[in-house]
């Protein structure tokens, strides 16, 4: 496993010399020695540095609290999860650029960063597979890719965990979650997903998505996975909002 990781790193570095990365914060080319982001731009990223919710990893202002307001009042179906950034400022723009401007290379930065920060925690989950939150097929064809799937593949390569893109299928076109309230979000996702039991039975699974807001999407996916016989469900996202 170590060797595979090393080989991956060498290839990655050769590519970086030939094709400098574009900075996910300012969009300009990054000199090879700086990596995938300008050193000065790194300071503008909303890392979560304070106390964090033990369930969803959201930043909480009350250092004595174990859980955020949202996790205190609603019971999530996943065991635990981790997000890399707060969903604000430059990160919002970077994720938007991935989705709507095809800046998939920013996902390399997100994946590197997530592994750097959270390798130990993710390793502890001992997961059998990564399962990206699927897009509705027609939407995926229109966009040309599913950002959650692309992100999962990058994590999978770095952590040596296999990615099962077909474990969950989105069987219904749903209204974009950002336009809805919390209750509407849950309602919107009812029967939206279908699970492939043969893949998930008795497995420990990490769901991968781009943004966590109220957790309703992750919960809806957790529900079908657990109903399909999954052992435990965790999640990884690039960013996390403050709830609604």
| 21 near Zn ion (CB under 5 A) | no
Query: If 0-12 CB within 10 Å is exposed, 13-18 middle and 19+ buried, where does residue 77 land?
Result: middle
CB of 231 to Zn ion, least distance (A): 22
| 26 near Zn ion (CB under 5 A) | yes
3-state helix, strand, coil in the chain (%, to 5): 45, 20, 40
Instruction: Provide the CB-side half-sphere exposure for 37 (13 A, CA).
Output: 20
Site mask, Zn ion, residues 177-196, x = CB under 5 A?
Answer: --------------------
Closer to Zn ion by CB, 80 or 140: give it: 80
Site mask, Zn ion, residues 213-242, x = CB under 5 A?
Answer: ------------------------------
Q: Which stretch binds Zn ion (CB under 5 A): 53-61, 81-89, 132-140, 221-229?
A: 53-61
Q: How far is CA 215 from the centre of its chain?
A: 12
Which run of H or E residues covers position 129? strand 129-132
Which residues of the chain form contacts with Zn ion (CB under 5 A)?
Answer: 23, 25-26, 38, 41, 53, 55-56, 58, 68, 71
């Amino acid at each position: 496993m170590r060797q595979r990781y090393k080989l991956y790193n060498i290839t990655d570095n050769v590519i970086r010399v030939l094709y400098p990365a574009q900075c996910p914060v300012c969009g300009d080319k990054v000199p090879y020695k700086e990596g995938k982001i300008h050193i000065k731009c790194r300071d503008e990223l909303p890392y979560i540095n304070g106390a964090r919710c033990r369930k969803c990893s959201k930043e909480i202002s009350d250092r004595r609290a174990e859980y955020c307001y949202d996790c205190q009042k609603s019971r999530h179906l996943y065991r635990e999860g981790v997000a890399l950034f707060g969903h604000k400022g430059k990160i919002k723009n970077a994720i938007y650029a991935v989705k709507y401007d095809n800046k998939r290379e920013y996902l390399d930065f997100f994946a590197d960063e997530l592994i750097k920060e959270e390798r130990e925690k993710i390793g502890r989950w001992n997961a059998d597979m990564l399962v990206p939150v699927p897009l509705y097929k027609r939407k995926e064809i229109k966009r040309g890719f599913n950002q959650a799937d692309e992100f999962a593949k990058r994590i999978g390569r770095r952590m040596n965990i296999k990615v099962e893109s077909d474990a969950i299928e989105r069987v219904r076109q749903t209204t974009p979650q950002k336009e809805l309230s919390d209750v509407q979000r849950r309602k919107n996702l009812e029967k939206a997903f279908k699970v492939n039991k043969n893949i998930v039975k008795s497995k420990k699974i990490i769901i991968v998505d781009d943004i966590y807001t109220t957790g309703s999407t992750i919960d809806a996916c957790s529900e079908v996975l657990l109903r399909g016989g999954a052992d435990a469900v965790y999640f990884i996202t690039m960013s996390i909002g403050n709830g609604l």
